[in-house]
Structure 1
Amino acid sequence: MPRTLITGGAGFLGSHLCDRFIAEGHEVLCMDNLVTGNTDNIAHLFERPDEQFKFIHHDVTDYIHVGGELDYVLHFASPASPADYLRLPIQTLKVGALGTHKALGLAKAKGARLLLASTSEVYGDPLVHPQPEDYWGNVNPIGSRGVYDEAKRFAEAITMAYQRYHGVETRIVRIFNTYGPHMRLDDGRALPTFMGQALRGEPLTVYGDGSQTRSFCYVDDLVEGIYRLLLSDENEPVNIGNTEEITIKAFAEEIIELTDSGSTITYEPLPQDDPQVREPDISKAQRTLDWAPQVERRDGLRKTLDYFQDAVEASTTA
């Protein structure tokens, strides 16, 4: 039975990874300090025996101790939504730097393979479209978004350094916009914000004129890509995301139609350094992992709607 540590395991993506790796026969150690994660996402796993699942309440910026052998470390601990990393700028930088350092140190000590969760934000507001892995990006290091962008760029750099200098087996996934159950309502990202507003009958907040684009990947597709990357021989960054690009305004209109809402759209000033385009070049993932997204956006949104309907109902009765 492989033994796998997932940092940030109570978060949106981390909780889905816990489910997948347990299903694949791994013993999963889920580590989270619950700053942005939520044990509700993993509550269904607490009934499992210890040899399948354990929760460890811990901040990965501190020394990480895990007794016994360890085969894999998936480092997903970090605020990921703009609302979170703008509210927690120092913590975001620390988990990208100190947290990644501690996770790599653990992987080195255990002889484990580490997979780093990086992000499309390493490309910043890109001047190349779509974005391939060999594009170095256009990032403002001192802008408000820089705390997240540069934390992930540093995390990639130290991960590659541990691979080259210490011989640690590492993998790096660059995650593009992903959605699905377990996202926090109104967390600042487009989908949960739009879903919450539409289901409450409120105006949907679009920044700028809404012409900026995003590409949304359903979480099951992302998890499949991550699993294949972990077990592959590819040790340089790989984009995982959906290539179906849509403007934010059109996406807001799609959510209004899906929810059968009477909501309108309201416009606010565009935040600093908000990317104007975002679409992955996934040719490397297709070539090396035989991976491509399978879930159409409309189908994924329908799968996600029930979760957000329950979340909105719970928030209004609390």
Structure 2
Amino acid sequence: MKIKKRAIVTGGAGFLGSHLCERLLQLEYEVLCVDNYFTGRRANVEHLLTNTSFELMRHDITFPLYVEADEIYNLACPASPVHYQFDPVQTTKVNVMGAINMLGLAKRVKARIFQASTSEVYGNPAVHPQPESYRGDVNPIGIRSCYDEGKRCAETLFFDYYRQHNVDIKVARIFNTYGPRMHPNDGRVVSNFIMQSLKGEDITIYGDGMQTRSFCYVDDLINGFLALMSAPRDVTGPINLGNPGEFTMRDLAEKTIEMTGSSSKIVYLPLPEDDPMQRKPDLTLAKRALEWEPKIRLEQGLAETIKYFEKYVYE
């Protein structure tokens, strides 16, 4: 009888976590999904509960976790400004204390551990596109700092555990990702635009709409996670994972209106503090070290995401 690998996914009931749990089960892992439901939702993993290789645990990783595992995926953290600014102290705690607790667990059980870091570590970048060697331009005392600096500190901890305790680490810097199971009210641009379009409401763009983002479909991103986790031990990262296709906010709004057949109008509001003007991954390292790059075009991914969000409006 084949012995299955055991994986822990913190934040496993969230948008990315639920897709990762699903894929790991398909790869015949035993999966422990850990979530405190601050932004994650049980509904995201309900369809997995009948799988005997899947277990769901309500737990906050700012407290230690005493379990066994071969691999740990640390995804726990609210990822949208609306959610992480709601309780900034807790956001910093989950990034820093959560990382310490998960790294301590990885050290104890000798597990390989993955950190879901973020392109936000680059802040409002002066280099474009952003390579992993760029150290960023981050405001340490702004309203986004709980997330930006929290993730930067988590990366520091991962590399200190790697150097000091020889923990087997993998660090991915995730760029904007979208797809089914995004929270409909998370305040992120794709979910905002789709929900506003489907309801026929004005689409709100902050600033002049010329700031750019790169959007990666969730299936591509999960492939990147798995490629990094299966890479040789010396491929620690940080490695950018995202889609280099670059779109202005105005482009995205117009495309969303067109694809939903909406009558929504675009309105412009002031730009929030420290909102970056451009964001695009340099994927040179991911292509070379992981032989990974995204395959799914924005139109294809948006069509799947719109289909998912339609149930919130029409059912």
- Return the TM-score normalized by structure 1: 0.97
Amino acid at match of 1:308: F
Determine the C-alpha separation between the residues in 2 that align with 1:294 and 1:108: 35
Determine the C-alpha separation between the residues in 2 that align with 1:113 and 1:313: 43
The equivalent of 1:205 in structure 2 is: 204
Amino acid at match of 1:152: K
Amino acid at match of 1:109: R
Aligned pair count? 310
1:1-318 correspondence runs (5 A)? 1-49=4-52, 52-66=53-67, 69-233=68-232, 234-314=235-315
Match of 1:87, SS state, is coil
Structure 1: 5+ residue runs without aligned partners?
none
Determine the C-alpha separation between the residues in 1 that align with 2:35 and 2:92: 16
Determine the C-alpha separation between the residues in 2 that align with 1:236 and 1:256: 38
Determine the C-alpha separation between the residues in 2 that align with 1:186 and 1:249: 20
Amino acid at match of 1:25: E
1:79-112 per-position Cα deviation (integer Å, ceiling 9, x unaligned): 1001001112111100000001000000100000
C-alpha displacement at 1:236, in angstroms? Answer: 2.3
C-alpha displacement at 1:8, in angstroms? Answer: 0.2
Amino acid at match of 1:35: F
Match of 2:201, SS state, is coil
Determine the C-alpha separation between the residues in 1 that align with 2:89 and 2:38: 13
Determine the C-alpha separation between the residues in 1 that align with 2:146 and 2:69: 31
1:263-283 per-position Cα deviation (integer Å, ceiling 9, x unaligned): 001111000010000000001
Determine the C-alpha separation between the residues in 1 that align with 2:28 and 2:51: 13
Match of 2:158, SS state, is helix
Indicate conservation of the 8 Å contact 1:185/1:312, yes or no. Answer: no
Structure 2: 5+ residue runs without aligned partners?
none
Amino acid at match of 1:276: M
Determine the C-alpha separation between the residues in 2 that align with 1:167 and 1:79: 29
Match of 2:31, SS state, is strand
Determine the C-alpha separation between the residues in 2 that align with 1:274 and 1:294: 28
Determine the C-alpha separation between the residues in 1 that align with 2:116 and 2:90: 16
Determine the C-alpha separation between the residues in 2 that align with 1:106 and 1:313: 44
Determine the C-alpha separation between the residues in 2 that align with 1:81 and 1:288: 29
Determine the C-alpha separation between the residues in 1 that align with 2:270 and 2:112: 43
Amino acid at match of 2:256: I
C-alpha displacement at 1:70, in angstroms? Answer: 1.2
Determine the C-alpha separation between the residues in 1 that align with 2:89 and 2:298: 34
Determine the C-alpha separation between the residues in 2 that align with 1:230 and 1:35: 26
Match of 2:311, SS state, is helix
